[in-house]
Chain A
């Protein structure tokens, strides 16, 4: 007897939850396009600002481990991966809590945490993938064609760096989902998503490296910045992309991501268990 079919049976509801949410979210094309235009504009401003700061003094280049071309590529990458950032809980979960539909989820013969996790991952992936693709088309293809090669999104350092980046990006998706799950649980407990995400957003944007590459923040903070959980969302994948981390360092960086995923999933499960026990669903 092989164990594969058993495994597939166990995983099936979660895969279905992921796929259905993924397909559902792909319907929102106008929102994606509007967001895309905003991000191109945003990225363009950042690129010009970086160019000014890098170009200002000759010594400046020596003061940082990151070249201007890398900072520019990082900017486009960060714009493309913007919706990967976990500053919102999954609105569907918030709605389920408010309407009481969460009671159905409690009755299903599946693991509630895993089900929400799969759904939230689908929700994030479906928003990220089209935007990354559009951003790449704009910054890596259209900009060089328009003669703005200096502003373009460059290819990864080499094939290995590219593969390491892809692996790290998948881990970033899982990490982001684990954080969204914590937000989901917080929303379930507090019934108020606006306040929570208003405070979570700035923290996530700064510490993930989405605002500025973490390498450009003061040197004294670098170790702490790399070890904190949010670096795994954006900065670690980007460092792998540039080939700044190779060999054991690359494995270590992936290890940091895996560690935080495990830690946050454990925390999320425990928090969800506690919240669900005290959850009161009103009849209706």
Chain B
């Protein structure tokens, strides 16, 4: 079986496994929807009390918010295997079984546990995109749709890269460390407001180290047809999502280093 059909087979198996417990899956999805929705309450309450922030309106912020939540929802569903690598694979010795199979390792991990509940966050993101469209009158032409899809793909790659790095770390720690949440959940939190609000060192970090701004902020500006208050050229948003793929490639480089170091726990 080829790689891609195999991946879909794995995802299908994982999803139908979760569907055996419909009440649980539904409740977790609802929990995700509500859990991510509270951030929307925070954004709304702040705009309700203070009005526009440095020339940004709520509809524009909703676009950042919606985009970044869609990205993370998809990456989180795909990258769950890397997320729990330490606790569920390395410590138990299950990882050896994956290594013995003549199929790409990353593929097996990605298809391992495709969480239905992440659809809660995805729905939330899509709802915010609809709200943003309604509020700011975004015109979805083929060009803007293409920018949005490219940004989405770059964002999924970037978040997946972060999860791969988190998994790599567990080759050393044999634990799944919460510290990566700084970049995953913390990244979502940071990227849902316009980059221009932040302090300079933080903006640099979000652009050049963990290029969240490149997959959310700049493409969103291009979609809105808004000039960057910080003076980045107009075409930035059209090419910048590429950095997400670069990040993922680099992450897999580090992953191979970690893999070379792997010695089974032997249980």
Residues of A within 8 A of B (CB): 30-31, 34-35, 37-38, 41-42, 44-45, 48-49, 52-57, 60, 63-64, 192, 194-195, 198-199, 201-203, 205-206, 211-212, 216-218
Contact = CB atoms under 8 A, between A and B. Distances in A.
Contact of B50 (A31, A53, A194, A198): A53
A217 B42 CA distance: 8
Nearest to B26: A195
Contacts of B202: 44, 48
A150 to B, nearest CB: 11
Interface stretch (B1-9, B137-145, B182-190, B256-264): B182-190
A64 B49 contact: yes
B174 to A, nearest CB: 12
A84 B251 CA distance: 36
Contact of B197 (A48, A205, A216, A217): A48
15 contacts: A34-B178, A38-B179, A41-B182, A42-B189, A44-B202, A49-B197, A54-B50, A56-B54, A198-B34, A198-B35, A199-B31, A202-B37, A202-B38, A211-B39, A216-B46
B127 interface: no
B94 interface: no
Nearest to B191: A45
A179 to B, nearest CB: 17
B250 interface: no
A203 B178 CA distance: 23
B186 A41 contact: yes
Given A42-B186, A212-B42, 9 more contacts: A34-B179, A37-B182, A38-B181, A56-B51, A60-B49, A194-B24, A194-B28, A195-B24, A199-B31
Interface of B: 23-24, 27-28, 30-32, 34-35, 37-39, 41-42, 45-46, 48-54, 175, 177-179, 181-182, 185-186, 189-190, 193, 197-199, 202
A217 B46 CA distance: 8
Contacts of A194: 24, 28
Contact of B190 (A45, A55, A218): A45
Nearest to A53: B50
Contacts of B48: 218
A180 to B, nearest CB: 18
A60 B49 CA distance: 8
Given A45-B186, A201-B35, A202-B34, A31 B178 contact: yes
B23 to A, nearest CB: 8
A43 B54 CA distance: 21
Contact of B31 (A202, A206, A217): A202
Nearest to A194: B28
Given A38-B182, A49-B193, A56-B53, A206 B27 contact: no
A53 B46 contact: yes
A58 B141 CA distance: 38
Contact of B175 (A30, A45, A49, A198): A30
Contacts of B190: 45
A37 B179 contact: yes
B100 to A, nearest CB: 31
Contacts of A64: 49
Contacts of A37: 179, 182
Contacts of B37: 202
Nearest to A197: B31
Contacts of B46: 49, 53, 212, 216
Contact of A48 (B24, B30, B35, B199): B199
Given A37-B179, A199-B27, A211 B50 contact: no
Nearest to A148: B199
Contacts of B34: 198-199, 202-203
B51 A60 contact: yes
A64 B46 CA distance: 11
B45 A202 contact: no
Nearest to B177: A34
Given A52-B53, A199-B34, A206 B186 contact: no
A52 B54 contact: yes
Contact of A198 (B30, B39, B189): B30
Contact of A206 (B30, B41, B177): B41
A52 B197 contact: yes
B93 to A, nearest CB: 22
A217 B23 CA distance: 33
Nearest to A200: B31
A212 B45 contact: yes
B49 A216 contact: yes
A54 B52 CA distance: 10
A190 B51 CA distance: 44
A216 to B, nearest CB: 6
A38 B183 CA distance: 9
A27 to B, nearest CB: 14
A54 B197 CA distance: 11
B45 A217 contact: yes
A194 B182 CA distance: 22
